[in-house]
Chains A and B, each alone.
Chain A
Amino acid sequence: MQTANVNRLTPYMFMAPAVIVMAVALLYPIGYMIYASFLDWNPSQRIGEAEFVGLRNYINLLGDASFRESFWVTLKFAAVVVTLEMCLGVGLALLLDRNIRGMSLLRTLFILPMMIAPIVVGLMWRYMYHPTVGIFNQTLKGLGFEPIPWLSDGDWAFASVVIADVWQWTPFIFILSLAALQSLPRSAMEAARIDGATGWQQIIYIKLPLMMPVLIVTALLRLIDAFKVLEVILVLTNGGPGLSTEILSLRISRTASEFRELGEAAAMSNYLLILLLILTFGMFLYNKAIEARAARLRRAAQEET
């Protein structure tokens, strides 16, 4: 009897610590944030003293031109970065999917940028973008070109931030696509070769379609992470010049710490969360639709034979 009881409780005992920690430090804060977004609250107040203002924070934000600008910058950043990284990463994977010596060392070196702290990545790039001592402008000067205002001009600053992110995260796509490529069924590729498909045809008709499920998940993961990028931009430009690189995460942190508007920051966090939810859910549905279609095609093919 005693042992039966213990056995029935075991799973709960194994689960309990994780559930408690996540409930206390993850779910509770998120709920708290949703509540706080309806308050006019500054950091020196207890939350109970803050005034309940209903949807005012949300409405104010919608009317706030700089918030809309931030929102736009965030979307633009995520879209540009994910597109560039997917193209480069998948391209490199297709190119380097060969049986060569030192591949594992190469992969190890490629992981480095991802493992290093974003703060440090920002630091390195800020040094390289430095108007006078940075390597880029020194090289340009050495070649007789005009120096580029990497971080002090709005458009260039955006480009600089994108370049740094592409440097840091393209390897992620590369490694995932390479793993996907190497797990493709050899038979399909061999059949294509025997049928006389050229390299390009193999890539477009065999490799890419077969990799598609992995590529979609990869793009989704990267997209989610692109909305989290903060430290690199904080160190590089701190959102400036103007609002040209001020992504939402950065604006949230500044609204909370500099402008001391916790309620507004919480409302902003909610907008960001809603945006991410929509994106994730959309991708998820798309993925399911693709899977369903593939299953249907498979069934159709089976019925034919």
Chain B
Amino acid sequence: MMSAQSYDKQNPAFYALLVALVVMAVGPIFMMLTTSLKLNVDIMSDSSSLLFMPTIRNYETALCDFLWYEAAHVDYCDKTFGRALVNSLIISLVSTVITLVIGCMAAYALVRFRFMGRDTVSLSTLAMRMVPPAVLLVPVFGIWTFQFQIDGTRAGIILVYVAMNLPFVIWILQSFIIQVPIQLEEAARMDGAGPFQVFFLVVLPLIKPGLAAAAIFTFRVAWNEFLLANALADRNSRTVPVTIVNSMTEFDIDWGVIMATGMLLAIPPIIFTFVASRQIITGMTAGAVKG
């Protein structure tokens, strides 16, 4: 299909502009990658060129407790980052799964059982989206510490993330569920399926693209979030963004290692982008363009 499509001819200036845009969009990321592969001597030398010996030392330093061999240059293994990586993975994955399951059920109920108008949901989603995480900081800290006493646990952080993501996920998913033909569900019900069976066996498989979009967005928020994680986490439940900020002091930043950790934090979202850019764009435009 792609090959059959003919493309318009454009003038060279147009392609020059395209190249410039791509360089601008990807340049900073590329720079982070190259810096993470440099030794500090190379970083600090005046001639910042692309000519340097790439090294994975910075990654070895960051991930030292996962290495199966002894890296010669690591005298003291700081396990902070490795632990944070595990925490980040657990927290993001668990909160994504929970958000999707709960959100999906709610979206389905909203569409099929005509609870509230679509307008009400859209409006409340917008209202929830309006709340900056910084606004949640004080109350969540207070409640989690003094009332629920789940501060410093992964469960506590997961709970905030699930709540934060739910409005958006419900909103996105209901726009997909609306498109599922009701006749399919009625046919399944005729064949004797209960409401839960209809939902899990008929509806869920049909809205996979929507689920993918919602999953990526939820995962991204949980994986990237800093502020609330910083307020809630203790030494053992810190996530990667928190450790990165903690290791940045005013002076004397170990750029090589910190760029390596930044790169490791950036890799999952980058992979998602390349694997599922279509779903991401769908998710992004679903709200604004379809209304």
Contacts and interface: CB of A to CB of B under 8 A. Distances in A.
A282 B138 CA distance: 27
A127 B35 contact: yes
Nearest to B18: A106
A253 B227 contact: yes
Interface stretch (A95-103, A188-196, A199-207, A297-305): A95-103
B160 interface: yes
A12 B105 CA distance: 10
A288 to B, nearest CB: 11
Given A24-B163, A25-B162, A117-B224, A231 B128 contact: no
Nearest to B115: A11
Given A21-B163, A109-B26, A29 B8 contact: no
Nearest to A100: B7
A167 B35 CA distance: 20
A25 B35 contact: no
A214 to B, nearest CB: 6
Contacts of A25: 140, 159-160, 162-164
B31 A272 contact: no
Contacts of B7: 99-101
A128 B6 CA distance: 40
A124 interface: yes
Given A248-B134, A253-B137, A269-B135, A127 B274 contact: no
B285 A112 contact: no
A14 B108 CA distance: 8
Contacts of A277: 130
B182 interface: no
A30 B137 CA distance: 10
11 contacts: A29-B139, A32-B142, A36-B138, A36-B142, A111-B280, A112-B26, A117-B265, A175-B284, A217-B287, A269-B135, A269-B138
Interface size bracket, B side: 35 or more
B210 interface: no
B289 A109 contact: no
Contacts of B195: 6-7, 10, 14
B74 interface: no
Interface stretch (B52-60, B61-69, B77-85, B255-263): B255-263
Interface string B125-161: 0111111111111111111011000000000000110
A18 B170 CA distance: 9
Given A21-B163, A123-B258, A256-B141, A175 B285 contact: yes
B178 interface: no
Contacts of B43: 133
A18 B106 contact: yes
B289 A280 contact: no
B21 interface: yes
A212 interface: no
Nearest to A247: B134
A15 B109 contact: yes
Interface in B10-48: 10, 17-18, 21-22, 24-26, 28-29, 31-32, 35, 43-44, 46, 48
Given A18-B102, A18-B166, A228-B133, A175 B281 contact: yes
B277 A104 contact: yes
A179 B109 CA distance: 29
B126 to A, nearest CB: 7
A266 to B, nearest CB: 5
A280 B127 contact: yes
Given A176-B284, A224-B130, A280-B126, A127 B32 contact: yes
A92 B195 CA distance: 47
B245 A234 contact: yes
Nearest to A273: B135
B24 A167 contact: yes
A235 B285 contact: no
Contacts of B244: 119-120, 123
B266 to A, nearest CB: 5
A22 B146 contact: no
Contacts of A109: 22, 25-26
A280 B130 contact: yes
Contacts of A257: 231
B289 A110 contact: no
Nearest to B281: A175
A253 B223 CA distance: 20
Contact of B143 (A29, A96, A175, A250): A29
A210 interface: no
